Structure 1
Amino acid sequence: MVFDPFTIIMLAVLAVLIFFMFRNSRKRQSDARELQTKVVPGAKVMTNFGLFGTILSIDEEENQVELESTPGTVLTVHRQTIARVVDAVEATTPAAVEGEPEFGERVDETPGDETPDVKKSDD
């Protein structure tokens, strides 16, 4: 049985794709296990739909989590909607670049040209 180069290349590409598929699957499983270990009462979390809150309690049997979004507001969500645990490092904003304004910040700068813009009349 003789294999032409095209068949060998196609089999090699297929093997590489299968390798990366299994690797990504393992990585996702380890990330999910790591997230589940961090999801404990008292942790600050973000849900898939962008809600930030603090976990009050976890019901393992019903897969429900009670979140307190604001003081006195308790929401019940499914456990799988917890997207990530918000660490103190992620909550802080990066230091602003020296000399550049923050997004939305107004900068009062006078133009370098001190002559006023005056329209000349056609007279």
Structure 2
Amino acid sequence: MIDSLTLHLSTVTAAAPVAGAEGGEAGGSAIFMLLMFGLLALFIFATWRRSRKMREDVRKANEGAVVGAEVVTAGGIVGRVVSRDDEHQRITLEFSHGDRMDFLLQAVQQVVEPAPGQRPETDVTEADQPDIDPTAPDSTDPR
């Protein structure tokens, strides 16, 4: 009796149709695979672009961390660069109360105020602005 039951189960499972064996479903799985590879490629491209932009920002911050510049470290510490050692990749920051501390050059996250003489040409300072009295009456015609 057990042998006949085993024989019956093996014939039933052999006769069962296999999922996906029909011709219409093969095209759907190919489209799904192309969609998955497309999404993977899009994800890789977006990650590559973001990392390239971050490397460029770090490079600009490291180049701007010259003696006299005010910088912010990755830990949020603000200080003025008093010395820079490119050989050992270190800078010394001085804080508002006069204390000094050494940091790795890679810790510089942002240049808040460039060193004197290092300002970009496009910046407009207060000395370049004409003297305008904000309390003077407006002489423009509203028509």
TM-score, normalised via structure 2 length: 0.55
- Counterpart code for 1:55: V
Q: Could you say what secondary structure the match of 1:40 adopts?
A: coil
Rounded to whole Å, the distance in 1 between the matches of 2:75 and 2:58 is 18
Alpha-carbon deviations, 1:68-109, whole Å to 9, x = none? 113532211221221211149xxxxxxxxxxxxxxxxxxxxx
2:54 aligned with 1:28: yes
Deviation per residue, 1:21-64 (Å, 9 max, x gap): 22112111211221122111100011122221100011111111
Q: 2:108 aligns with which of 76, 82, 104?
A: 82
Give, in whole Å, the separation in 2 of the partners of 1:60 and 1:87.
20
TM-score by length of 1: 0.63
Query: Gapped runs of 5+ residues in structure 1?
Result: 89-123
Alignment RMSD: 2.1
CA drift at 1:16: 0.6
Superposed, 1:31-110 pairs within 5 Å as 31-87=57-113
> Which of the two has higher C-alpha Rg?
2
1:17 partnered with 2:31: no
Deviations along 1:100-122, whole A, 9 cap, x unmatched? xxxxxxxxxxxxxxxxxxxxxxx
Structure 2: runs of 5+ lacking an equivalent:
1-26, 115-143
Identity %: 32
- Stretches (4+) displaced over 2 A: none
Query: How many residues were matched structurally?
Result: 88
User: As a proportion of its length, which structure holds more helix?
Assistant: 2
